[in-house]
Amino acid sequence: MLEARVTANEVEFAYLEAGPADGPLALCLHGFPDTAHTYRHLLPALARAGFHAVAPWMRGYAPSSVPADGAYQAGALATDACALHEALGGDDRAVLIGHDWGAFAAYCAAPFEPKRWRKVVTVAIPPPAIVAQSFFTYDQFKRSFYVFLFQTPLAEMALASSDLGFVERLWADWSPGYDCAFDVARVRESLAEGPNLHAAVGYYRAMLDPTLHLPAYAAAQAAAGSPPQPTLNLHGDHDGCFVLDPASDVASALSEGSRHVRVADAGHFLHLERPDEVNRLILDFLSC
């Protein structure tokens, strides 16, 4: 994998890439608390399948720049994805892959500019309609404590304490049994500076506070929903971050030609815990 940079939507994005530059773009978006390295298993697999696989550090996550507009709403992330599609020479063969916040971005970007994306893959976050059903349950409230902590002025202090020990505990809770040492080290590098830490928290503040939303991203924000494209949604059955009710009919919230797969013995970071299985599921879906 190579590291490169590109400017899109007035943000300088650092990214990892693999595969032929003239292959169909596979844009892979990470979540919190994570980095582009989360796709270190998937990018080479996509490259072998002929894709130009690209995983940027999301806005505010070093070495990508902190956006001057200070926007972290899902509509801004979606606009970034579409701008990256343009800047990286994507065409109508492109596919969009997102984990965690990257999935939220995909749920905006795919309906916002549908002609850019042939297929969509979302990991660990179900479609918005299912999220809305589950978010206010007691079990999910317990797991989402950090979302509410991040609305307070204590958020940055809590995250930064003990060399981002909070992040390490989240990984351990969300993917029990997975050795997250490499991943947490990369997060420590990315969020070492105050502005980057503030940016990571900003995603959650914008999530619950619409007064932080910029009008420039209103159309993308309003587009949020199930993608019109065929979508593969993957969820670990031991996900400690987002509880998915076994009775939830996720497939019914997706478009025709979509699939929902629950991956056994995997948590929130299932693409790292079960890379061979997840890579196979993704490549099989993208190739059909």
Per-residue pLDDT at 288: 85
Domain count for the chain: 1
Is residue 33 within 8 Å of 172, Cβ to Cβ?
Answer: no
Give mean pLDDT, residues 64-87: 98
Write the pLDDT tens digit of every residue in 196-216: 999 999 999 999 999 999 999
Per-residue pLDDT at 247: 75
Write the pLDDT tens digit of every residue in 134-148: 888 999 999 999 999
Write the pLDDT tens digit of every residue in 173-192: 999 999 999 999 999 999 99
How many Å apart are CA 79 and CA 188, to the nearest integer?
Answer: 27
Per-residue pLDDT at 285: 98
Query: Does 248 have pLDDT greater than 90?
Result: no
Give mean pLDDT, residues 137-164: 95
Is residue 38 within 8 Å of 68, Cβ to Cβ?
Answer: no
Tokens of 185: 């080290």
Instruction: Return the amino acid letter for 162.
Output: S
Give mean pLDDT, residues 18-46: 99
| Alpha-carbon distance values, 227 to 61, 78, 206 (Å) | 26, 12, 22
Full domain range(s) for residue 78: 2-287
Share of the chain above pLDDT 70, in %: 100
- In terms of Cα–Cα distance, which of 30, 57, 54 is closest to 43? 54
Rounded to 5°, angle at Cα 63 from 42 and 56:
30
How many Å apart are CA 128 and CA 117, to the nearest integer?
Answer: 19
Per-residue pLDDT at 40: 99
Residue 64 pLDDT grade (very low, low, confident, very high; cuts 50, 70, 90): very high
Share of the chain above pLDDT 90, in %: 95
Q: Average per-residue pLDDT in the chain?
A: 97
- How many CB atoms within 10 Å of residue 91? 11
Looking at residue 115, which CATH number applies to its domain? 3.40.50.1820
Residue 221 pLDDT grade (very low, low, confident, very high; cuts 50, 70, 90): very high
Residue 73: which residues within 8 A CB-CB, separation 6 or more?
206, 207, 212, 213, 214, 217, 221
Give the global pTM: 0.97
Write the pLDDT tens digit of every residue in 113-132: 999 999 999 999 999 999 99
Per-residue pLDDT at 245: 83
